[in-house]
Amino acid sequence: MAQPNRRRTSRRAIYLKLRQMVLTLELPPGSALSENELAASLGVSRTPVRESLILLAQEGLVQVFPKIGSFVSRVDPAQVADAQFLREAVELAALEDLPAALDQETVGELRANLREQQRPDLGLEEFFALDEAFHQGLMRLSGHGNVWTTVAAAKGHLDRARRLGLHENASPAGFAAQHTEIFDAVTGGDVPLARRAMRAHLRAVFDDIERIRAHSPDLFAGVAGSVPVRRNVVVWE
């Protein structure tokens, strides 16, 4: 009776692994996806890989073209904007619900998180994880921590754009400074300042997109209906 459960667990694990590879840019936007190669690299059969690609296609992170193949979707600025709209609405609303007496345990966790963000040897994925934990911690302060799961599930294109922005910047120090400004405003009881700082912080991704698209347009979705051609390299026409 346990074997079907193990198969479901395996399929879920493969899906999560492939999703992470897409979100972290290990599988870059526009790259061709081979079920055989992915299955071999992950040590599984093609079936869970195929099922995972279908799920990722439903999220808009993979595109499947009949008789051509599967490809990692290029970052879609429109979907980034939609996810950003949702995230901003939720996080700014949460700031309005901050209690007068903040939970000091969570405040301490956020303060420690900010210290970690200052580490000079911090890798980009480490910083990204701290960034996520920081914003989730602010949601917990407002009593809406559980909402973060819904926000996280909707921001695949946004997270890829954010990672591209991290790679584009010489250091994540600027983002860490913005986090500190938000934290100081929250702990100082200045909700209007916290909202302004949060809004500016969250919208910085749009500037990153325009800057990156200027020199790497192939990473972003362009003309609607464009179809990739599988050759020795991926070509988008």
DSSP 8-state symbol, 75: B
Measured CA to CA, the distance from residue 177 to residue 198 in angstroms comes to 12
Amino acid at 21: M
pLDDT, tens digit (0-9, with 9 covering 90-100), for 145-201: 999 999 998 899 999 999 999 999 888 999 999 999 999 999 999 999 999 999 999
> What's the pLDDT score for residue 143?
96
Q: Beta-strand (E) ranges in the chain?
A: 32-33, 62-65, 69-72, 228-230, 234-236
Instruction: Identify whether the C-beta of residue 78 lies closer than 8 Å to the C-beta of residue 125.
Output: no
Q: What domains sit in the chain, N to C, each tagged with a CATH number?
A: 2-74+221-236 (1.10.10.10), 77-215 (1.20.120.530)
Q: Beta-strand (E) ranges in 10-154?
A: 32-33, 62-65, 69-72
Task: Read off the pTM.
Answer: 0.86
Measured CA to CA, the distance from residue 135 to residue 148 in angstroms comes to 9
DSSP 8-state symbol, 73: P
pLDDT, tens digit (0-9, with 9 covering 90-100), for 17-75: 999 999 999 999 999 999 999 999 999 999 999 999 999 999 999 998 888 889 999 99
